Amino acid sequence: MSVKPKKHLGQHFLKDETICQRIADAIVPAGRFSKVLEIGPGTGALTKFLLNRTDFETSVIEIDTESVAYLQIHYPQLGNRIYSNDFLHTDPVALMGTEPFAVVGNFPYNISTQILFRVLEFKDQVPEVVGMFQKEVAMRIAEGPGSRDYGIISVFLQAYYDIEYLFTVDEHVFYPPPKVKSGVIRLIRNKTASLPCDEKLFTRIVKTAFGQRRKTLRNSLKPFADQRKEVFDAHPEFFGRRPETLSVQDFVWLTQQFQV
């Protein structure tokens, strides 16, 4: 029995066991979690190495029923921890309980940012993420301010996670090979419980500023200044900057200026 890769599900199966081993090795529980949820195990290339680890228990969630059937036959050790579901529309608490768990995967690239936004919704239960993404996305998430790839998702994730780019992976280790290179990153939850500002306003400001990323903040953030025009005059230099030069702390400060 084998599974023919399905393009619409972003299926690119890893065939290089060294890469699978390196991804599995990148998980460092350090007493913070004893459960791991793999998203999109496919035919279990990575799962095999996760199951070798004795310092955490692995569960998997897979949308493709054919892959699920394959896993049930080839990885009986998973027992009832194979979930045949769409990660984006599943309540992780229903699968993992209320204990902390790490999220791991060679993610389907077509929904990788959606996976991360979903993780952010459960950030206090997810102390670590180790994932493979399309290289550009991995860089964007890991890069700090000032880089071309820095953007909305970088700011939101860096607010709550310390992020490290681990290594690049070539196209030819996958079947079928994707069109682009891949990158593996690790996100470790930082100590920020909540941002010291109105988080809803923070979200709107980050999205608005990057929505017009070539404009200065003075121009892109005009809609926020209706009642507080004096903010611009008080900090002319700051509002002459563009969003990609701002750190998470800068966005927090910015939000505080517009809060009432």
Give the residue with the Cβ less far from ligand SAH, 111 or 252: 111
Exposure on the CB side of residue 71, measured as CA atoms within 13 A: 30
173 binds ligand SAH per the rule CB under 6 A:
no
221 binds ligand SAH per the rule CB under 6 A:
no
Closest separation in Å from C-beta 24 to ligand SAH = 11
135 binds ligand SAH per the rule CB under 6 A:
no
183 binds ligand SAH per the rule CB under 6 A:
no
Tell me which of 26, 36, 37, 41 binds ligand SAH, using CB under 6 A: 41
How far apart are the C-alpha atoms of 118 and 122, rounded to whole Å? Answer: 7
Size of residue set near ligand SAH by CB under 6 A: 23
63 binds ligand SAH per the rule CB under 6 A:
yes
131 binds ligand SAH per the rule CB under 6 A:
no
42 binds ligand SAH per the rule CB under 6 A:
yes
What track of x and - describes contact with ligand SAH for positions 68 through 97 (by CB under 6 A)? ------------------xxx---------
20 near 46, Cβ under 8 Å?
Answer: yes
Residue in 165, 161, 211, 156 with CA at minimum distance from that of residue 185: 165
62 binds ligand SAH per the rule CB under 6 A:
yes
Query: Which helix H or strand E contains 138, and what residues bound it?
Result: helix 135-142
Please report where in the chains the tokens 């036959």 appear, as a residue: 73
In the chain, which ranges are E strands? Answer: 13-14, 35-39, 57-62, 82-84, 102-106, 128-134, 161-169, 174-175, 182-189
122 near 134, Cβ under 8 Å?
Answer: no
| Binding positions for ligand SAH, rule: CB under 6 A | 9-14, 39-42, 45-46, 61-64, 67, 86-88, 106, 108, 111
